[in-house]
Structures are given as structure tokens and as C-alpha cells.
């Protein structure tokens, strides 16, 4: 654990954004889903992240998600705004507005598509951190952004007083250990399959996709690790493994999570926004096969799972939504 206070929580859900069948944000569904996650053990909710389909949300939708999250949480969990932008000025505008909307923290994704140098990445992070009083999580996910946050850049960024954490979806455990040894940064596992290994080398918590479906076992893992009970943590990790495979292996995690949540009756529609699409029949069959290997998980009754491949496919082409700015 870090030497500094943790302003984010430890079991953070990378929240899906529930949509109606025609692709609009299902605001009552958002409220219900956030409450379900918190009731199941989450103490942090990351809205407008990768899993929340930030790249196809409008700015007003992003800000309303912060407001709704803050209202539903009512102090039970921290609300972190994710996303960002590959344009520094736009990112600053979004995070300032998110702070006014009530966010408890911000998560800054590495600038994508531009492929800046590490000097550009560092400048992007520093300028955003300068523009907010909120604690900042850096989001290192080179598989999506095209570039990593290199070790030396993380060390330099760690000197900024507002930059206090990293969400790691890079999978370089040696680098995580090295940074933890040389900084006070907190680390959050951004890879559902590696939550327990990350915690074992000193990570603070997780920001998970599968936690949309099953936050309770992650609460068990965190509490057990905090208590030094590796046996209990390992059992919960093993319990989750088939569900993690179902969510993270065959289609983007957002798509699989919504397909499963809808099949469980926990969201009204599995709709995702283009260019994401629901699972094809072969992909849905693979997800369902993985689910057949899942045993009993607290808060998840898979006997109630009713796959709806027609709803996932979406039928007629959905409307195209406006630009994100």
C-alpha cells in the first residue's frame, strides 16, 4: 500500500454505460447499475472510461454521468471520471467541468492516435494535473492508445503533487514493482485476470470490467489481501477466473459485460454504440460456454441467465449519435 492516503477506494468498477435499445443513455438504468455495484462491495466507480464507451459519449453525457454517479453514491463510493482526450486543451476542459460536476478524482488516458513522444505525454499529464485540484490516476493502456507510459516518464510524472496513482493495463510486473519501490504512487490493476498478482506485488486495488457483474468476489480478494489471508484471496481469484474469461477473451469487455448483464436481467439492453457491435452468434456461444464453467459467485445467479442474441445483434441499424464535443 502507498504511504499516502487513498482518495479513490480499492474495488473500483470500470462502469458500463447502459443504453436503451435505440442507443440513448438509459439514465434510470445507470442509477440502478451504479447502486447495484456499490451494494455488492464497490467503493469506487469509474464513469466514462474505456468500458463506459467514452469515445462515443457526448461531453454533456459524460458530465451527467458524473452528476448521476455522485447522487447515487451519496458518499458510499468515490466517483472517478475517466476518458480524456488526445487533445490536451479538450481534456483540460472536460476535467475542469467534471470537477465542477462533483467528481472525486480523474483518470487520464495516455493521448491516443497522435503518438506523441514521451515528452509530449508528460506535458499532457502535467498540464491536466495543473488544471485540477482533484487527485489524478494515469491510465497506461498501450494496446489501445498505441504508446506506453515509459518507466522514466512515470517517475517524472510522480513528482507532480496531484498525480498519485496509475491504472496499469500494460502487464509489465517488473516495472510495476520498480515504480512502487521508487515512488509513492498507488497502482490499480487494469487487467481483470491479473488483479491478485498485482495486489501481491503491492498494488492498492483494481479498476475492473468483470466487477460490473461480480463486485463481491473482488471485495473478498481486497479484504483478504489487506488481512494477509492469501488462501481466501486465492479461492476468490479461482472462483472468478471462468467469468473473467467470459468477459475479457472473445469480444471487447464492454460488449461481453453488457451481453451478460442483460442476460441476467440487470440492464434493459445489451446495446453498444457503433463501431462496437454486439457479439455474433459464434462469439456469443463462446461467452455462454465460459459461463457454463462458472460456479457459485456471491451476488451472481447464473441460473437466471437468459441469452438474447437478437437483442445483442441490435436488429435494425442504430441511429448515429452526435460528435463528442
pLDDT over threshold 80, residue 314: no
pLDDT over 70 (residue 90): yes
Query: Is 187 an annotated catalytic residue?
Result: no
* 105, part of any domain: yes
Please report whether residue 174 resides in a domain. Answer: yes
* Rounded Cα gap, residues 151 and 154, in angstroms: 5
Q: CATH code at 52? A: 3.20.20.70
Label residue 228 left, alpha or beta by phi (over 0 means left) and psi (-120 to 50 means alpha). left
pLDDT tens for 244-290 read 999 999 999 999 999 999 999 999 999 999 999 999 999 999 999 99
State which residues form the domain around 120: 11-229
> Does 266 map to a domain?
no
User: In this predicted structure, what is the pLDDT of residue 311?
Assistant: 82
- What is the reported pLDDT for 84? 86
Cis? peptide before 275, omega within 30° of 0? yes
**In-domain check, residue 179:** yes
Q: What torsion, rounded to 10 degrees, do the Cα atoms 284, 146, 162, 131 define? A: -100
Per-residue pLDDT, averaged over 2-27, amounts to 91
User: Quick check: is 158 in a domain?
Assistant: yes
150 is catalytic: no
What's the CA gap between 138 and 128, in Å, rounded? 11
Q: How would you label 244-278 residue by residue, b for 16+ Cβ within 10 Å and e otherwise?
A: bbbbbebbbbbbbbbbbbbbbebbbbbbbbeeebb
**Cα–Cα separations (whole angstroms), residue 83 to 47, 197, 297:** 8, 26, 30
Closest CA to 269 of 301, 313, 303, 238: 313
Residue 261 within any structural domain of the chain: no
Can you tell me the mean pLDDT for 108-133?
A: 97
Q: What is the rounded average pLDDT of the residues 81-99?
A: 95
DSSP per position, 307-320: --HHHHH-SSPPPP
Predicted confidence (pLDDT) per residue in 165-218, tens digit: 999 999 999 999 999 999 999 999 999 999 999 999 999 999 999 999 999 999
Distance in angstroms (rounded) separating the CA atoms of residues 45 and 38: 8
pLDDT exceeding 90 applies to what percent of the chain? Answer: 91
User: What confidence category does residue 133 fall into, taking pLDDT thresholds of 50, 70 and 90?
Assistant: very high
Its sign, for the CA torsion 169, 173, 175, 180, is positive
Question: Which residues is 81 bridged to in the sheet?
Answer: 47, 106
Q: How many CB atoms lie within 10 A of CB 121?
A: 23
Out of 70, 167, 187, 259, which one is annotated catalytic?
Answer: 167
Do the domain assignments include residue 167?
yes
**pLDDT band, very low/low/confident/very high, at 318 (cuts 50, 70, 90):** low
Please give the tally of structural domains in the chain.
1
Is residue 267 in some structural domain? no
Take residue 232 and report the three cell numbers written for it.
481466501
The partner residues of 41 in beta bridges, in order of sequence, read none
3-state secondary structure labels for all residues of 174-234: HHHHHHHHHCCCEEEECCHHHHHHHHHCCCCEEEECHHHCCHHHHHHHHHHHHCCCHHHHH
Catalytic site residue from 139, 187, 218, 259: 139
Amino acid at each position: 500500500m502507498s504511504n499516502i492516503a487513498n482518495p479513490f477506494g480499492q474495488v473500483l468498477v470500470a462502469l458500463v454505460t447502459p443504453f436503451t435499445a435505440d442507443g440513448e443513455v438509459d439514465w434510470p438504468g445507470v442509477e440502478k447499475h451504479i447502486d447495484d455495484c456499490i451494494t455488492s462491495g464497490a467503493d469506487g466507480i469509474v464513469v466514462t472510461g474505456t468500458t463506459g464507451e467514452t469515445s462515443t459519449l457526448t461531453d454533456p453525457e459524460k458530465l451527467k454521468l458524473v452528476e448521476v454517479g455522485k447522487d447515487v453514491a451519496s458518499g458510499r463510493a468515490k466517483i472517478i471520471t475517466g476518458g480524456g482526450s488526445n487533445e490536451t486543451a479538450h481534456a483540460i476542459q472536460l476535467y475542469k467541468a467534471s470537477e465542477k460536476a462533483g467528481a472525486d478524482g480523474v483518470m487520464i488516458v495516455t493521448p491516443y492516435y497522435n503518438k506523441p513522444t514521451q515528452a509530449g505525454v508528460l506535458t499532457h499529464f502535467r498540464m491536466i494535473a495543473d488544471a485540477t485540484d482533484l487527485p489524478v490516476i494515469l491510465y497506461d493502456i498501450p494496446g489501445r492508445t498505441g504508446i506506453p507510459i515509459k518507466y522514466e516518464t512515470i517517475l517524472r510524472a510522480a513528482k507532480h503533487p496531484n498525480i498519485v496513482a496509475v491504472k496499469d493495463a500494460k502487464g509489465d510486473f517488473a516495472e510495476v514493482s520498480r515504480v512502487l519501490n521508487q515512488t509513492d504512487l498507488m497502482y490499480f490493476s487494469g487487467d481483470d485476470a491479473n488483479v491478485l498478482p498485482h495486489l501481491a506485488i503491492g498494488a492498492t486495488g483494481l479498476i475492473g470490467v468483470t466487477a460490473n457483474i461480480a463486485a463481491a468476489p473482488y471485495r473478498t480478494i481486497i479484504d483478504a489481501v489487506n488481512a494477509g489471508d492469501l488462501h481466501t484471496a486465492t479461492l476468490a481469484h479461482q472462483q472468478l477466473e471462468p467469468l473473467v474469461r467470459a468477459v475479457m477473451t472473445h469480444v471487447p469487455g464492454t460488449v461481453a459485460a453488457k451481453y451478460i448483464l442483460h442476460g441476467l436481467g440487470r440492464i434493459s439492453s445489451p446495446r453498444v454504440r457503433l463501431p462496437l457491435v454486439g457479439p455474433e452468434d459464434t462469439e456469443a456461444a463462446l461467452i455462454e460456454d465460459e459461463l457454463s464453467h462458472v460456479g457459485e459467485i456471491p451476488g451472481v445467479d447464473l441460473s437466471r441467465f437468459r441469452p438474447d442474441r437478437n437483442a445483442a445483434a441490435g436488429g435494425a441499424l442504430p441511429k448515429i449519435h452526435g460528435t463528442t464535443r
